[in-house]
């Protein structure tokens, strides 16, 4: 959790000037995307959201169980109830996202502790993993990582405390094809890593992935390859390791790691979020073993692919952005099928975005199509003028999304509207529509 995110919108004028200056600029070695002239029509349609009102679901995560049940986790219930820690909050839908019900994940007495960052993962056999962070709002620091495991689609749970260390922060969890579960987080002294090879019954800590930096993201490949994004900031932003901007890859289950510089360029600032807010720098693997990195900077939206486990990269600029773009997220499946989200702008220009990206076998530019932008119902007080009307809030540092088994995409955004007493999350369905090439009939 990044405790200092309230400065996000304080530098809008300066950002605008930077963007004007940056228009048309291109980094050396970064290929600008040009849309193929022969591409068939391709659009994304965004359906009206299904709003589920309950408690705040900050920075929600979504997964789909092999049986078709959708699960959404989020945090923020403690801020509404007034408790310092609450049970982690999880919801499920058995009708494709039309209706949702709270999942009982047990109580703090049973080890279910969490009031901040969450992640979800599902194994091929249906085992559901739910990792959580306990964050002390008064101290502005994390202090515990726990993981819950369910073998029966959320009916019963076993909880394990993985760490109780000052500055614990930003946990992630993924499952390899062989069923091995990998979890990472940071504690101000580098990135920690634990594994479970018995479906979450026991967990074993491995050597630290890196002695510095933050646990920005985790992805597991088709042969059990692990990629971890390590960035300068950690411990909820209280620690900053200058120059740490890398991708660590392991092909032996996390025993050894090869570390490579991240592709592309990013504007890092150890003191605040200017000029581009950053926290999660997402990674994803496709079934061919391609590793993808997606990021934003003052020059727009960027995608890079490595076919040699992070050693070398091919980079494309997907699009420019007329206003600052930030907080990207990325998922992949199949043979180069990707989906991404990000935010752009501030106050009156603030929007959320979702797009589909297709990447071929060679070095041809990817096909990129974006759905109409949308505005989540999430707000916060203006930190500089608290008596002014509420302003839009990302309520987290990414927008989670998932490919759906029956087709299309699902995106989840927080609902945090104190003015109308609305709390919960919105479930957005995105349908992909492809046409035919002219003269193909």
- Site of tokens 């391709």: 42
* pLDDT tens string 30-77: 444 444 445 568 999 999 999 999 999 999 999 999 999 999 999 988
How confident is the model over 227-285, as pLDDT tens digits?
A: 999 999 999 999 999 999 999 999 999 999 999 999 999 999 987 788 999 999 999 99
Give me the architecture of the 5-434 domain, per CATH.
6 Propeller (2.120)
Q: What are the tens digits of pLDDT across the range 171-181? A: 999 999 999 99
Phi, psi of 12 (to 5 degrees): -60, -40
In angstroms, the CA 61 to CA 226 distance is: 20
| Residue 188: DSSP 8-state | S
User: pLDDT per residue over 297-338, tens digit each?
Assistant: 999 999 999 999 999 999 999 999 999 999 999 999 999 999
Distance CA 314, CA 27 (A): 13
* Burial of 382 (C-beta count, 10 Å sphere; 0-12/13-18/19+): middle
* pTM for the structure as a whole: 0.91
Q: For residue 34, count other CB atoms closer than 10 A to its CB.
A: 10
Domain boundaries, the chain: 5-434
Strands 128-136 and 89-93: unpaired
């Amino acid at each position: 959790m990044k405790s200092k995110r309230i400065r996000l919108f304080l530098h809008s004028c300066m950002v605008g000037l930077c963007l004007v200056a940056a228009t048309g600029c291109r980094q050396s070695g970064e290929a600008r995307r040009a849309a193929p002239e022969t591409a068939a029509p391709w659009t994304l349609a965004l359906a009206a959201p299904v709003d589920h009102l309950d408690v705040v679901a900050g920075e929600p995560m979504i997964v789909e169980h092999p049986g078709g049940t959708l699960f959404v986790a989020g945090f923020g219930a403690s801020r509404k109830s007034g408790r310092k820690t609450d049970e982690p909050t999880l919801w499920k839908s058995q009708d494709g996202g039309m209706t949702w019900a709270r999942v009982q994940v047990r109580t703090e007495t049973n080890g279910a502790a969490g009031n901040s960052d969450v992640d979800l993962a599902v194994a091929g056999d249906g085992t559901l993993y739910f990792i959580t962070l306990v964050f002390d709002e008064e101290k502005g620091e994390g202090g515990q990582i726990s993981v819950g495991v369910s073998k029966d689609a959320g009916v019963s749970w076993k909880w394990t405390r993985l760490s109780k260390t000052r500055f614990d922060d930003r946990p992630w969890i993924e499952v390899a094809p062989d069923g091995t579960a990998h979890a990472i987080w940071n504690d101000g002294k580098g990135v920690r890593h634990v594994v479970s090879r018995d479906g979450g019954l026991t967990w074993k800590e491995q050597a630290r992935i890196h002695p510095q930096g933050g646990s920005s993201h985790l992805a597991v490949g088709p042969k059990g390859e692990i990629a971890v994004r390590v960035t300068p900031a950690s411990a909820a932003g209280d620690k900053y390791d200058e120059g740490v901007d890398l991708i660590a890859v392991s092909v032996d289950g996390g025993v050894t790691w090869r570390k490579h510089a991240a592709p592309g360029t990013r504007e890092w600032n150890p003191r605040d979020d200017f000029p581009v807010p950053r926290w999660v720098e997402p990674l994803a693997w496709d079934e061919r073993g391609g590793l993808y990195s997606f990021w934003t900077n003052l020059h727009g939206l960027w995608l890079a692919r490595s076919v040699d486990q992070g050693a070398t990269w091919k980079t494309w600029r997907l699009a420019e952005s007329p206003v600052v773009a930030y907080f990207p997220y990325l998922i992949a499946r199949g043979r180069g099928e990707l989906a991404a989200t990000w935010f752009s702008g501030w106050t009156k220009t603030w929007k959320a975005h979702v797009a589909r990206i297709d990447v071929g076998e060679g070095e041809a530019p990817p096909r990129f199509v974006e759905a109409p932008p949308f505005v989540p119902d999430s707000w916060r007080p203006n930190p500089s003028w608290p008596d002014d009307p509420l302003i839009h809030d990302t309520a987290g540092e990414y927008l989670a999304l998932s490919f759906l088994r029956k087709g299309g995409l699902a995106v989840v955004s927080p609902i945090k509207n104190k003015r109308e007493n609305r709390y919960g999350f919105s479930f957005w369905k995105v349908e992909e529509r492809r046409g035919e090439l002219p003269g193909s009939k």
